[in-house]
Structure 1
Amino acid sequence: MTHTAPGFADPVLPAALDEAAHRCLVAGFRGTTTVPESLKRLVDRGLGGVILFTRNVRDADQVRRLTGTLRALRPDLLIAIDNEGGGIGHLVAAGAPEVPGSWALGAADDPALTAACADALAGHLLSLGITASYAPVADVQSRPENPIVRTRAFGADPELVARHLRAWIAATEARGVASCAKHFPGHGGTVTDSHHELAVDPRPYDRLDLAPFRAAVEAGVPMLMSAHVVFPALDPDRPATLSPRILSELLRGELGFDGVLVSDALEMKAIADRYGEAAGARLALAAGADQVIVAVPDLDVTLACRDAVLDALRSGELAPERVTEAAERVRRLALRYAAPYRPGEAAAWDAEAGLTAARRAVRGAGPLPRPVPGAHVVDLFPPPHPALHWGGEDLLTQWRLLDPTATGTAVAGEPEDAGTVVEEVLRAAEGRPLVVAVCDAGLHPWQGRLRNALLAARSDALLVSTGLPEPGGALCAHGRGRVNLRAVAEVLTGRTS
Structure 2
Amino acid sequence: MTTIDPGLRRLALGTLLAAFRGPVAPEWARDLTAEGLAGFTLFGYNVETPEQLAALTASLREIRPSVLLAIDEEGGDVTRLAHATGSPYPGNAALGAAGDVEATRAIYRAIGLDLAALGINVNLAPTVDVNSADDNPVIGTRSFGADPALVSAHTAAAVAGLQEARVAACAKHFPGHGDTVADSHTELPTVDVPLEVLRSRELPPFEAAIGAGARTVMTAHIRVPVLTGDDPATFSPAVLRDLLRDEFGFTGAVITDALEMKGAAVAAGGIAPAAVRALSAGADLLCIGADVDADLVEEIVTEIIAAVGDGRLSPDRLADAASRNAALAAWTAQPVAAGPVDPSLPDTVARRAVRIDGTVSGLDLSAPLMVQLGSASNIAEGRVPWGLGGYLPHADLLHAAASEVTAEALAARAGERPIILVGRHLHRFPASRALAESLAASHPTVIVELGWPSSSWRPAGACAFIRTHGATQPLAKAAAALLKP
The within-5 A match list for 1:374-393 is 374-393=367-386
Deviates more, 1:369-378 or 1:122-131: 369-378
Q: Contact 1:272 / 1:280 at 8 angstroms: preserved in 2? A: yes
One of 469, 474, 477 as aligned partner of 1:478: 469
Amino acid in the other structure paired with 2:325: V
Counterpart check, 1:45 vs 2:38: no
The equivalent residue for 2:175 is 185
Q: Contact 1:370 / 1:492 at 8 angstroms: preserved in 2? A: no
Q: Contact 2:254 / 2:283 at 8 angstroms: preserved in 1? A: yes
Q: CA deviation at 1:387?
A: 3.8
The equivalent residue for 2:405 is 418
| Residues in 2 aligned to 1:341 and 1:267: alpha-carbon distance in whole angstroms | 34
| Residues in 2 aligned to 1:94 and 1:70: alpha-carbon distance in whole angstroms | 24
Partner of 1:148, secondary structure, is coil
The equivalent residue for 1:438 is 423
5+ residue gaps, structure 2: 459-463
The equivalent residue for 1:281 is 275
Q: CA deviation at 1:399?
A: 2.2
The equivalent residue for 2:94 is 104
Partner of 2:180, secondary structure, is coil
Could you give the per-residue CA deviations for residues 279-315 of structure 1, whole angstroms, max 9, x where no partner exists? 1101000000001101223313333222211211222
The equivalent residue for 2:233 is 240
| Residues in 2 aligned to 1:272 and 1:205: alpha-carbon distance in whole angstroms | 26
The equivalent residue for 1:328 is 323
Q: CA deviation at 1:393?
A: 1.4
Q: CA deviation at 1:113?
A: 1.0
Q: CA deviation at 1:427?
A: 3.5
Amino acid in the other structure paired with 2:420: V
Could you give the per-residue CA deviations for residues 41-86 of structure 1, whole angstroms, max 9, x where no partner exists? 3212211110111100110100011011011111100111001112
Partner of 2:477, secondary structure, is helix
| Residues in 2 aligned to 1:409 and 1:491: alpha-carbon distance in whole angstroms | 20
Could you give the per-residue CA deviations for residues 320-363 of structure 1, whole angstroms, max 9, x where no partner exists? 100111111111110110x3678xx5554222211111111111
Do the aligned partners of residues 93 and 281 (structure 1) sit closer, same or farther apart at CA in structure 2, a change above 3 Å counting?
closer
Amino acid in the other structure paired with 1:312: A
The equivalent residue for 1:449 is 434
The within-5 A match list for 1:216-365 is 216-275=209-268, 276-299=270-293, 300-337=295-332, 339=333, 346-365=338-357
| Residues in 2 aligned to 1:262 and 1:149: alpha-carbon distance in whole angstroms | 18
| Residues in 2 aligned to 1:169 and 1:44: alpha-carbon distance in whole angstroms | 31
Counterpart check, 1:463 vs 2:456: no
The share of aligned pairs that are identical, in percent, is 37
Partner of 2:173, secondary structure, is strand
Q: Contact 2:14 / 2:36 at 8 angstroms: preserved in 1? A: yes
One of 13, 16, 20 as aligned partner of 1:29: 20
Q: Normalising by structure 2, report the TM-score.
A: 0.92
Counterpart check, 1:169 vs 2:159: yes
Do the aligned partners of residues 418 and 302 (structure 1) sit closer, same or farther apart at CA in structure 2, a change above 3 Å counting?
farther
Q: CA deviation at 1:94?
A: 8.8
| Residues in 2 aligned to 1:93 and 1:382: alpha-carbon distance in whole angstroms | 16
| Residues in 2 aligned to 1:384 and 1:193: alpha-carbon distance in whole angstroms | 12
One of 187, 195, 204 as aligned partner of 1:205: 195
| Residues in 2 aligned to 1:105 and 1:406: alpha-carbon distance in whole angstroms | 28
The equivalent residue for 1:373 is 366
Q: Contact 1:375 / 1:435 at 8 angstroms: preserved in 2? A: yes
Q: CA deviation at 1:366?
A: 5.3
Q: CA deviation at 1:256?
A: 0.7
Partner of 2:427, secondary structure, is coil
Q: Normalising by structure 1, report the TM-score.
A: 0.90
| Residues in 2 aligned to 1:423 and 1:90: alpha-carbon distance in whole angstroms | 39
Amino acid in the other structure paired with 2:411: L
Q: Contact 1:170 / 1:219 at 8 angstroms: preserved in 2? A: yes
The within-5 A match list for 1:93-132 is 98-132=88-122
The equivalent residue for 1:394 is 387
5+ residue gaps, structure 1: 5-10
The equivalent residue for 1:7 is none
| Residues in 1 aligned to 2:362 and 2:116: alpha-carbon distance in whole angstroms | 42
Could you give the per-residue CA deviations for residues 356-406 of structure 1, whole angstroms, max 9, x where no partner exists? 111111112356757733222112241222342342111222322xxxx21
| Residues in 2 aligned to 1:97 and 1:193: alpha-carbon distance in whole angstroms | 23
| Residues in 2 aligned to 1:95 and 1:481: alpha-carbon distance in whole angstroms | 9
Do the aligned partners of residues 452 and 365 (structure 1) sit closer, same or farther apart at CA in structure 2, a change above 3 Å counting?
closer
Q: Contact 1:86 / 1:100 at 8 angstroms: preserved in 2? A: yes
Q: Contact 1:60 / 1:94 at 8 angstroms: preserved in 2? A: no
Deviates more, 1:371-380 or 1:142-151: 371-380
Could you give the per-residue CA deviations for residues 174-228 of structure 1, whole angstroms, max 9, x where no partner exists? 1111110000000001121101100100011111110000111111100000000
| Residues in 2 aligned to 1:435 and 1:302: alpha-carbon distance in whole angstroms | 50
Count of residue pairs brought into register by the alignment = 472
One of 150, 154, 158 as aligned partner of 1:160: 150
Amino acid in the other structure paired with 2:312: E
| Residues in 1 aligned to 2:178 and 2:67: alpha-carbon distance in whole angstroms | 32
| Residues in 2 aligned to 1:113 and 1:97: alpha-carbon distance in whole angstroms | 17
Do the aligned partners of residues 333 and 350 (structure 1) sit closer, same or farther apart at CA in structure 2, a change above 3 Å counting?
same
| Residues in 2 aligned to 1:169 and 1:369: alpha-carbon distance in whole angstroms | 41
| Residues in 2 aligned to 1:170 and 1:340: alpha-carbon distance in whole angstroms | 16
Amino acid in the other structure paired with 2:221: H
Q: CA deviation at 1:119?
A: 1.4
Q: Contact 1:377 / 1:407 at 8 angstroms: preserved in 2? A: yes
Q: Contact 1:59 / 1:94 at 8 angstroms: preserved in 2? A: no
Partner of 1:365, secondary structure, is strand
Partner of 1:105, secondary structure, is helix
| Residues in 2 aligned to 1:483 and 1:167: alpha-carbon distance in whole angstroms | 20
Q: Contact 1:70 / 1:77 at 8 angstroms: preserved in 2? A: yes
Runs of at least 4 residues of structure 1 off by over 4 A? 93-97, 345-348, 366-371
Q: Contact 1:183 / 1:224 at 8 angstroms: preserved in 2? A: yes
Do the aligned partners of residues 136 and 370 (structure 1) sit closer, same or farther apart at CA in structure 2, a change above 3 Å counting?
farther
| Residues in 2 aligned to 1:230 and 1:145: alpha-carbon distance in whole angstroms | 18
| Residues in 2 aligned to 1:92 and 1:348: alpha-carbon distance in whole angstroms | 21
Q: CA deviation at 1:128?
A: 0.7
RMSD over aligned CA atoms reads: 2.1
Q: Contact 1:29 / 1:297 at 8 angstroms: preserved in 2? A: yes
| Residues in 2 aligned to 1:427 and 1:298: alpha-carbon distance in whole angstroms | 51
Could you give the per-residue CA deviations for residues 450-475 of structure 1, whole angstroms, max 9, x where no partner exists? 212323431x2112211222422621
Q: CA deviation at 1:429?
A: 1.7
Q: CA deviation at 1:241?
A: 0.4
Q: Contact 2:39 / 2:69 at 8 angstroms: preserved in 1? A: yes
